[in-house]
Amino acid sequence: MTNEPFRDSKRYSPATIQKDVMPLSTPGLSESRDLRTGKVPWREADWAIPPTGGLPGESCDIAIIGTGIMGAILAERLSAAGKRVALIDRRPPGCGSTAASTAQLMWAMDVPMTTLAQQIGEAQAARRWTHIFNAVRDLSDRVDALGLGELKQECPTLYLAGNLLDADGLAAEADLHRRHSLPSQWLDAGQTAGRFGIAPRAAILSSGGFTIDPVRLCHALTDRAISRGAALTWPVDVVGLHPDKGSVLIEVATGENLRAADVILATGYERAGLFLPPAFSLLTTFAIATPPGVAPLWKEDAMIWEASDPYLYVRTDRTGRIIAGGEDMESADAHSRDALIPEKAGTIAAKLEAMLGAPITIDRRWAATFGASPDGLPAIGASSLMPHVWLAAGYGGNGIAFASLAAEMLECELAGEADPDRDAFDPYRFDDAVDGKGRAA
């Protein structure tokens, strides 16, 4: 098959797009991976995939490589700032990892704040967490301002004691949150059981989070960017980036080129291996969903997760499904992943039943690749290898929250203003061989 753009994208069902349209075997700038397997709970009939066009005939201000939720959030924000944006992907928008996301928007990180404070100091940990909290709230406000509020639901987050943080550890974690004006409170086991109707365990209750329909939001934000003049091209594979006269020449597999003043690599969990350092690794997570109409089995529609490894994370959606996931494995091999789906789904269901004290019926089950980093934080910033190339890799357990953070930071950087927290999320912060800035001249 060729990489020529499909003019009539609605001829293809989401399943056909995932398995047939995407050119998995084509070598390119980023890895090619089978990112997910199984049936996700999002209603594919609701997906209005934005139509593709050819590459722009003239240069653009910013080319975003990747049209998942990261690329969509970037494109909407940068196009609103008046930038001429081009979006390029080997898949249709939102049909890779975004479609497998459980879409819990939390500002708390996988690596507890107390743990991070022990590693880099309390002030530095608080600086990072506060910036992410503000990015999550900014995304919520922006979704509302765009008239897309029906795609999200505000809800509290309940972080349960586990094998990483026990009751005392959670109390210290909640105290650190409050000390830096992050909205959390500690609950003892009895308070948790009484308020939420689940098995008694100490917990941290936090506000400021929300859930979304990830694919529909991705498409809606992409449509907003297109309405402002952004170009969208899929499926086409980028095979090279070439610095040229203060800009970047983007080479695609069809032999065409596009010139951009700046390029943002938003390739998600198909790593741009020459640019993203190896400290940012790939894992697999597993998830299940009940039939619609089952929830609520606990109060306040809280997003629930555990301070454990392996951990469980749980939420509801607007159709009354319970969506739960976890049981991560330290491999992104698709064959191994797929073979484990039945076993992992059963383990997740058993943990959920123990938490809720009620039987669970599995309606959907799936597995997906995701990214991790040593500090649980993303890679956002300028490439060290090529001028005018930027990384926006939401590696860690909060990829959509990190997309909002990346949009905020890169809008600032591309306007010629240094973001005050650029070092906190620098892609090269784990690389001793880099001079501490990790940026091309």
Note whether 225 and 267 are same-domain residues.
yes
106 located within any domain? no
Does residue 374 have a pLDDT over 90?
yes
Note whether 286 and 411 are same-domain residues.
no
14 located within any domain? yes
188 located within any domain? no
Domains: count for the chain: 2
Note whether 13 and 95 are same-domain residues.
yes
368 located within any domain? yes
pLDDT of residue 432: 62
Note whether 226 and 273 are same-domain residues.
yes
- The mean pLDDT of the chain is 89
205 located within any domain? no
Tokens representing residue 38 in the block: 């199984």
pLDDT of residue 342: 96
118 located within any domain? no
Convert the pLDDT of each residue in 102-129 to its tens digit.
Answer: 888 999 999 999 999 999 999 999 999 9
Convert the pLDDT of each residue in 391-419 to its tens digit.
Answer: 999 998 788 999 999 999 999 999 999 99
Look-up: residue for tokens 């086409």? 236
* pTM, 2 dp: 0.89
CATH code of residue 243? 3.50.50.60
Note whether 219 and 271 are same-domain residues.
yes
Note whether 234 and 260 are same-domain residues.
yes
Convert the pLDDT of each residue in 191-207 to its tens digit.
Answer: 999 999 999 999 999 99
Note whether 366 and 224 are same-domain residues.
no
364 located within any domain? yes
Note whether 220 and 342 are same-domain residues.
no
Note whether 232 and 92 are same-domain residues.
yes
268 located within any domain? yes
**Structural domain that includes position 358:** 281-372
Share of the chain above pLDDT 90, in %: 76
Note whether 286 and 274 are same-domain residues.
no
Note whether 351 and 233 are same-domain residues.
no
Note whether 234 and 363 are same-domain residues.
no
